[in-house]
Amino acid sequence: MRRLCTYLDRYPAKMVSHLADKLVDRYLPDSANLLDPFCGSGAILNAATSRNFDATGFDVNPYATLLSRVKLDGFDRNVAHDVCEALLSKSLRSKKALPVPWEAKNYWFTKQTLLKYEKLRHVANQMSLYDSREGRAVLLAYTLSVRRCSRADQRSPKPFISKTALASRKGKHFDPFQEIAKLLADLADLHAGPMAPKSQVLCVDVRSSKGLSRFANRFSHIITSPPYINAQDYFRNFKLELNLLEDLIPCGRVASVRYKFIGTERGQLLQGLRESDFNYHRKLLSILSRMETTHPKQSAIVHRYMWDMRSAFSVMKACLQAHGKLVLVCGDNLVGGYRITTWRILCKMLEDLGFSLFDRFGDKIGCRNVPPKRQGHVGIIKQEVISAFELD
């Protein structure tokens, strides 16, 4: 498979393919049944299924599950082309529209572009695109077109309207009909073909065991790279795509998804936490007590992150078979001026849950063609640590 262009695989902090390949080759035996509970853009799943392993992915982000499903499911190029042609032609003739239920939509899109998207939404909803492999491929092309047809600066992983974008895009009309057809052709070159054997991707919140009882003791291995404590609004990365996907995917309302991202700064961060939780977090991270005084907002983000990850690990443990293996990929973070060794905290949580470490190595970010000008940035993650555990 050729290297994916950013506009075809737009996803922040995604795992590089060579590391995913390395982890699968290093840790999965011939009979492995793999889960990635934070599958993101599907690097681990793709590495596993390309080697004929059974693989399952979870993610709370509907865009992530759509992207990963198209990669793993594959699709028939000709059928997808026909579905796309039907979507575009019906939308061009449609006198009905399915409005985007988002107050900020007119800030990001011109009136003409928005009208086209709302007609596309109406027809896509009527066609139930998500129910077939080819329909999901067309839906992904639709989703990938959203940023390209917006007023957002195209250079940034997070959407914002810069002076450069205003100057270069002002007065131009970006036609989603043309973009969707082009993007589907590019996706077909990458992903058209048969479905990966025994693979599935589900849009679920791994912090909660609700609906996941059928996966109890199901998996021999978990390999995953969980979210970081970036003290940022993760939802903002995907707000254009998710708001225009509203009503087109069976993954809940955007209004509810925006608060489910682990590591986010949104919502009532300390709601539901008990004093015992705070004390446990302070025990794991000694500087947290000081951070609560100097940076209360950031300390709340850290507390919520630790609580969320502990909840997620408990569910992941229930999904593992006896003596199952869990491989964790994580680095450190800079939050409120405090350097936090996130990987150490998460590893200690796993040990407290009954996991035993049997392997560990580091993977330097500097070896991944990161532009040199970023390597001196104090907030950048310079190394990820791979820690492999066995469930006692």
Q: Helix, strand, or coil here: 72?
A: helix
Bridge partners, residue 224, by sequence: 328
Percentage of the chain modeled with pLDDT above 90: 74
Where helices occur in the chain by DSSP H, the ranges are: 17-27, 43-49, 62-73, 77-93, 105-108, 111-127, 133-148, 163-169, 176-191, 234-245, 254-257, 275-284, 288-294, 296-319, 342-352, 372-375
Q: Domain 8-61+198-227+262-392 adopts which CATH fold?
A: Rossmann fold (3.40.50)
> Which range among 49-53, 231-235, 291-295 shows the weakest confidence by mean pLDDT?
231-235
In 3D space, the residue among 7, 65, 70, 71 whose CA is nearest the CA of residue 40 turns out to be 65
Task: Report d(CA 213, CA 217) in Å as an integer.
Answer: 9
Cα angle value 216/132/243 (rounded, 5°): 85
Using alpha carbons, list the distances in angstroms from residue 174 to 152, 171, 245, 324, 326.
12, 10, 18, 50, 45
Q: Report the pLDDT value the prediction gives residue 93, as an integer from 0 to 100.
A: 97
Cα angle value 87/196/367 (rounded, 5°): 100
pLDDT surpasses 90 at 267: no
Q: Where are the domains of the chain?
A: 8-61+198-227+262-392, 75-193+238-259
With 0-12 CB in 10 A as exposed, 13-18 as middle and 19+ as buried, what is 297?
Answer: exposed
> Which range among 22-31, 78-87, 208-217 shows the weakest confidence by mean pLDDT?
208-217
Q: Report the pLDDT value the prediction gives residue 231, as an integer from 0 to 100.
A: 57
The pLDDT tens digits of the residues spanning 367-386 come to 444 444 444 444 456 689 99
Given a contact cutoff of 8 angstroms between Cβ atoms, the answer to whether 63 and 92 are in contact is: no
Residue 30: pLDDT band with limits 50, 70, 90 = very high
Q: Report the pLDDT value the prediction gives residue 4, as an integer from 0 to 100.
A: 61
Q: Report the pLDDT value the prediction gives residue 369, as an integer from 0 to 100.
A: 47
Q: Report the pLDDT value the prediction gives residue 156, as an integer from 0 to 100.
A: 79
Using alpha carbons, list the distances in angstroms from residue 118 to 160, 181, 270.
22, 17, 38
Q: Report the pLDDT value the prediction gives residue 259, as an integer from 0 to 100.
A: 86
- Contacts of residue 389, Cβ cutoff 8 Å, sequence gap at least 6: 325, 326, 327, 328, 347, 350, 351, 355, 356, 357, 358
Given a contact cutoff of 8 angstroms between Cβ atoms, the answer to whether 102 and 243 are in contact is: yes
Task: Report d(CA 324, CA 217) in Å as an integer.
Answer: 9
| φ and ψ of 18, to 5 deg | -70, -30
Q: Helix, strand, or coil here: 131?
A: helix
The pLDDT tens digits of the residues spanning 321-346 come to 999 999 999 999 899 899 999 999 99
Q: Report the pLDDT value the prediction gives residue 374, as an integer from 0 to 100.
A: 42
Given a contact cutoff of 8 angstroms between Cβ atoms, the answer to whether 41 and 157 are in contact is: no
Q: Helix, strand, or coil here: 59?
A: strand
Q: Report the pLDDT value the prediction gives residue 381, as an integer from 0 to 100.
A: 60
Task: Report d(CA 195, CA 249) in Å as an integer.
Answer: 20
Residue 263: pLDDT band with limits 50, 70, 90 = confident
DSSP-derived secondary structure letter, 220: E
In 3D space, the residue among 108, 110, 113 whose CA is nearest the CA of residue 160 turns out to be 108
Task: Report d(CA 237, CA 65) in Å as an integer.
Answer: 15
Given a contact cutoff of 8 angstroms between Cβ atoms, the answer to whether 237 and 157 are in contact is: yes
Given a contact cutoff of 8 angstroms between Cβ atoms, the answer to whether 31 and 52 are in contact is: no
Percentage of the chain modeled with pLDDT above 70: 93
pLDDT surpasses 50 at 196: yes
pLDDT (mean) for 229-251: 87
Task: Report d(CA 72, CA 69) in Å as an integer.
Answer: 5
Beta-carbon count within 10 A of 353 CB: 16
In 3D space, the residue among 153, 191, 205 whose CA is nearest the CA of residue 75 turns out to be 191
pLDDT surpasses 50 at 2: no
